[in-house]
Amino acid sequence: MKLLIINGPNLNFLGIREPSIYGDKNLETLIQWIKAETAQLDPSIHIEDFQSNYEGAIIDRLQQAYYDKVDGVVINPGAFTHYSYAILDAIHSVHIPTVEVHISDIHAREPFRQISVTKHARIQQVSGLGFNSYLEGIKVLMKHLKK
């Protein structure tokens, strides 16, 4: 099983940007942790990761995932969550089961952060669990893909 983890804008600044909200660990630590935890769940799962601050690059990577025959996507669209109809359309177009994740609880934050336009293309959203949001997203995908 091949899963793709996509991180959107400013997630490359994990550990620097608002540590009181996002924690003090960086993106590399997050990805290493995801790979280690996923290997314990199921060693046959291959994790690929991608981060970009650019909407078009995220769309390009989603489209490439179609050709790469990725089985599932876990995406933290960052601020694109709240307004990127282009990413919504890309998720729809590739027909790959997708789980949206957020480190913070977006539903308990500013009103604009509580809106997710990308929710219409995903199978579930997981937020507010810190790095564990990603692991829970992977578990949701595993359950969905094994149906």
Q: Which of 54, 85, 102, 120 is catalytic?
A: 102
Determine the 3-state secondary structure of 103 from DSSP: coil
Verify whether residue 134 is a known catalytic residue. no
**Per DSSP, what are the bridge partners of residue 39?**
none
Please give the angle made by the CA atoms of 141, 138 and 59, to the nearest 5 degrees.
Answer: 80
Verify whether residue 22 is a known catalytic residue. yes
What gap in Å lies between CA 126 and CA 131, rounded to an integer?
11
- What's the gap between Cα 56 and its chain centre? 16
- Could you give the residue numbers annotated as active site? 22, 102
